[in-house]
């Protein structure tokens, strides 16, 4: 087996195969059509939920599967191999779960996590703004305390699946400038004042909608504040550490699909009287693609293992994210090259994989921000 999962535990293989079967049977047949028409199907999330795949690392006390990130990354890789969009959707719906499990109080955990973990609800993470992307802590949305509630005002941008979300974790400023002035809140679909703005027209990942979200005098009960006032950026950054592992796993799935397509083509396509795989220019390219995929996979697994064992993993999550997503960009670009004229057409999935990979170098912290996190860890004090 060139894609060797033999070192995975039985539980990891079982979860991977559940996800693979569902993705091949239910997602792969509709993905090209739905990417074209920008159609997000809620029933896909519900179907994944029925298999226990929407809350894999979430505690079974709150309706999750009670497993770890090592199982989670296998499932995400399989979903991504069929559709990058649905892998990102599951990953983003996981962010409110990880936030509430780590930082929520008992009331918040019981109220929100079970429905997110079961796939009945979809979650969204509402951080970025037009003026605060990489510099997340400079956000300008305000939350002003008024009796037993807060009034939120501002405009958020690049928010994944906000238009289908039931629960949002939104960061807003309750204090002065900088990270210490930011707090995190739980918002619910239907709260007056939450409005959807424009939906971005993207180069890929179009099943997963990217929304502008307008918050106009949204009254949020004070009990929906997560942790304490001023903890918002810590809540967000800690969640992004976990999220970056899932984005890296998404990159693995996309890259693997591209390698499979390029390998098949290189075996079948004959030029000058032999399969093009037999020309070293192509064969060595595929060899490098496979090597790079497997090296990245080890880094993603290492970050997941560290997280599962409760050890610090911010650095390794950033490394896994940058290495896996840069790998996916290179591998998908090379796959298009190996398929040649066919690779550039929509008859084959590799051009979609290439467009999907590009997004992963940007979301949940650009790869420049990951390198910033890594270089900060190298600073000698």
Which of 26, 189, 202, 234 touches ligand CAA by CB under 6 A?
A: 234
The window from 20-28, 265-273, 289-297, 362-370 that contacts ligand CAA (CB under 6 A) reads: 362-370
> Are 161 and 209 spatial neighbours (Cβ–Cβ below 8 Å)?
yes
**Does 213 engage in binding with ligand CAA (CB under 6 A)?**
no
C-beta of 136 vs 331, nearer to ligand CAA: 136
Tokens of 164: 């289908």
Q: How far apart are CA 275 and CA 106, in angstroms?
A: 61
Report CA-CA distances (Å) from 174 to 127, 141, 146, 180, 227. 14, 9, 11, 9, 13
Tokens of 260: 């499979």
Q: Spot the catalytic one: 129, 351, 356, 364.
A: 364
**Does 125 engage in binding with ligand CAA (CB under 6 A)?**
yes
C-beta of 227 vs 372, nearer to ligand CAA: 372
End-to-end CA distance of the chain: 46
C-beta of 240 vs 245, nearer to ligand CAA: 240
C-beta of 234 vs 263, nearer to ligand CAA: 234
**Does 240 engage in binding with ligand CAA (CB under 6 A)?**
yes
**Does 228 engage in binding with ligand CAA (CB under 6 A)?**
no
Q: How far apart are CA 46 and CA 58, in angstroms?
A: 16
- 116's CB contacts (< 8 A; 6+ apart) are 54, 55, 58, 93, 96, 97, 122, 123, 167
How many angstroms from the chain centroid is the CA of residue 240?
A: 10
- 231's CB contacts (< 8 A; 6+ apart) are 103, 183, 184
The window from 4-12, 132-140, 164-172, 295-303 that contacts ligand CAA (CB under 6 A) reads: 132-140
**Does 160 engage in binding with ligand CAA (CB under 6 A)?**
yes
**Does 345 engage in binding with ligand CAA (CB under 6 A)?**
no
Which of 314, 316, 319, 361 touches ligand CAA by CB under 6 A?
A: 314
Q: How far apart are CA 352 and CA 362, in angstroms?
A: 16
How many angstroms from the chain centroid is the CA of residue 173?
A: 25
C-beta of 144 vs 377, nearer to ligand CAA: 377
Which of 11, 18, 151, 179 touches ligand CAA by CB under 6 A?
A: 179
- DSSP letters for 169-184: EEEEESSSSSGGGEEE
- 341's CB contacts (< 8 A; 6+ apart) are none
Is position 101 annotated as part of the catalytic site? no
* Sign of the alpha-carbon dihedral angle for 193, 44, 100, 366: negative
**Does 373 engage in binding with ligand CAA (CB under 6 A)?**
yes
C-beta of 77 vs 241, nearer to ligand CAA: 241
**Does 374 engage in binding with ligand CAA (CB under 6 A)?**
no
Q: How far apart are CA 327 and CA 78, in angstroms?
A: 17
CB of 70 to ligand CAA, least distance (A): 20
Residues classed as catalytic: 364
Q: Which residues of this chain interact with ligand CAA, rule CB under 6 A?
A: 92, 125, 127-128, 134, 136-137, 158-160, 179, 233-234, 237-238, 240-241, 314, 363-365, 369, 372-373
């Amino acid at each position: 087996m060139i894609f060797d999962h033999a070192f995975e535990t039985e539980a990891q293989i079982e979860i991977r195969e559940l996800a693979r079967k569902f993705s091949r049977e239910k997602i792969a047949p509709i993905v090209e059509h739905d990417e074209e028409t920008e159609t997000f199907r809620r029933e896909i999330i519900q179907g994944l939920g029925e298999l226990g795949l929407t809350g894999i690392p979430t505690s079974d006390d709150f309706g999750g599967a009670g497993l770890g990130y090592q199982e989670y990354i296998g499932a995400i890789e399989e979903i991504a191999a069929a559709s990058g969009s649905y892998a990102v959707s599951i990953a983003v719906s996981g962010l409110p779960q990880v936030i509430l499990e780590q930082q929520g109080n008992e009331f918040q955990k019981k109220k929100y996590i079970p429905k997110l973990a079961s796939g009945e609800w979809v979650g969204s993470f509402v951080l970025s703004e037009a003026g605060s992307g990489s510099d997340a802590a400079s956000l300008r949305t305000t939350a002003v305390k008024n009796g037993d509630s807060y009034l939120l005002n501002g405009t958020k941008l690049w928010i994944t699946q906000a238009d289908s979300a039931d629960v949002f974790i939104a960061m807003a400023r309750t204090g002065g400038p900088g990270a210490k002035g930011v707090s995190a809140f739980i918002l619910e679909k239907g709260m007056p004042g939450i409005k959807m703005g424009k939906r971005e027209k993207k180069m890929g990942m179009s099943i997963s909608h990217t929304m502008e979200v307008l918050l106009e005098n949204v009254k949020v009960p004070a009990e929906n504040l997560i942790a304490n006032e001023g903890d918002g950026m810590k809540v967000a950054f800690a969640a992004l550490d976990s999220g970056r592992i899932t984005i890296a796993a998404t990159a693995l799935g996309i890259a693997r699909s591209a390698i499979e397509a390029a390998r098949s083509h290189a075996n079948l396509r004959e030029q000058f009287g032999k399969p093009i795989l037999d020309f070293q220019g192509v064969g060595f390219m595929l060899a490098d693609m496979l090597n790079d995929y497997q090296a990245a996979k080890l880094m993603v697994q290492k970050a997941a293992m560290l997280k599962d064992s409760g050890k610090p993993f911010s650095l390794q999550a950033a490394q896994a994210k940058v290495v896996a997503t840069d790998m996916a960009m290179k591998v998908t670009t090379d796959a298009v090259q190996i398929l040649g004229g066919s690779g550039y057409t929509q008859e084959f999935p590799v051009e979609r994989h290439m467009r999907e990979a590009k997004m992963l170098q940007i979301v949940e912290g650009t790869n420049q921000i990951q390198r910033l996190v890594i270089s900060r860890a190298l600073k000698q004090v």
